[in-house]
Amino acid sequence: MALLSSFNEDRPVSYFRGYPIYCATLLTIAYSLGVIATAFLRELRLLDNLIFFPARSILGGEVWQIFTYSFVNFPNFFTIFSLFFLYIAAVEVEKYLGRSRFLLLYALLVLTPVLGLTAWFFLFRESYPFAGDYCISIGFVIAFCTLYPGLQWFGILSLRWVGVISFVLAALVYVSEGDWPGLLVLTLAAGGSFGYVRFLQSGGELPRIPNPFKLRPRPRLRVVPSSGTSRRTEPRPTGEGPELDALLDKIARNGLGSLTAKERAALERAREKLLENDRK
């Protein structure tokens, strides 16, 4: 399956008292703290330094606002529901896509308002401030609905229609207020999230960025000293051989995500045997 997440990518980052902690969990906690910080910073009149404003953030050099704007969320009665739905959608998307693809989607959603409003500024010479995690929440909800379109929402509507209706209602709010930049950002976030998931589902591969900090892989064969001056090659543990070589060749050609569940299990067994052999 083209959208199969990479090996170990769908696992939690850590556990807290047996509860799995995902990147989505950490993001939800960060945005919860952002709500609290917003309440205090508003009283101190410091929020203007954190909100994205094209004329100031791009031309004025206050580039940190590109990353801080989404954490500026004014608390209200519906904040808890917003964070809850953000968490539910984001965790399910991370489980399905894998950690790397999830983080890339998050980065795209963060940059969507920045790119959209900056383009609007250069085209129409109108600069609009932007703050909040609204765009990110919309993106994860649309991604969740795209991944599970047939899933029933409270046994009433499938998620396919929940996503469509939610987008239409939000768009009508912007149209009624004449907020065309806001409508542009909403459309870009929903369309970008939908297109990103569809691209992966159609077999699209994201460009691989080499990690300079990644350790070099260990050789499959090790030369160990024996009695005298002669050396011998240590045999590979049982479970390796032609089957493992075929799996490694497949990974080299098509990437780790191309392995089936059975092939992943075989690769994991071979890895465990190698670790046991190293500990001896």
* DSSP state letters, 191-256: HHHHHHHHHHHTT--PPPPP-TTSPPPPPSS-EEE-STT-EEEPPPPBTBSHHHHHHHHHHHHH-G
| 145-162 confidence digits (pLDDT tens) | 999 998 888 778 899 999
Q: What is the arithmetic mean of pLDDT over 49-76?
A: 90
Structure-token pair, residue 170? 């939000």
Indicate whether 59 pLDDT > 70: yes
Residue type, 156: I
Residue 220's pLDDT band (boundaries 50, 70, 90)? low
Which tokens go with 218? 């260990």
Mean pLDDT of all residues in 168-179: 94
The more confidently predicted of residues 271 and 96 is 96
Tell me phi and psi for residue 71, to 5 degrees: -95, 0
d(CA 25, CA 13) in angstroms, rounded, equals 10
Which pLDDT value is given to residue 272?
Answer: 73
Residue 7 has pLDDT above 80, yes or no: no
What pLDDT, in 10s, does the model give residues 183-208?
A: 999 999 999 999 999 998 887 766 65
| Chain region(s) in the chain for CATH 1.20.1540.10 | 14-201
Q: Tell me: the pLDDT tens digits for 239-261?
A: 456 677 777 777 766 666 666 76
Q: What per-residue confidence (pLDDT) applies to 192?
A: 94
What average pLDDT does the structure give for the chain? 81
Q: What are phi and psi of 233, to 5 degrees?
A: -90, 125
| β-pair partners for 15 | 20
Domain covering 14-201, topology: Rhomboid-like fold (1.20.1540)
What's the CA gap between 37 and 183, in Å, rounded?
A: 28
Whether the pTM exceeds 0.85: the reply is no
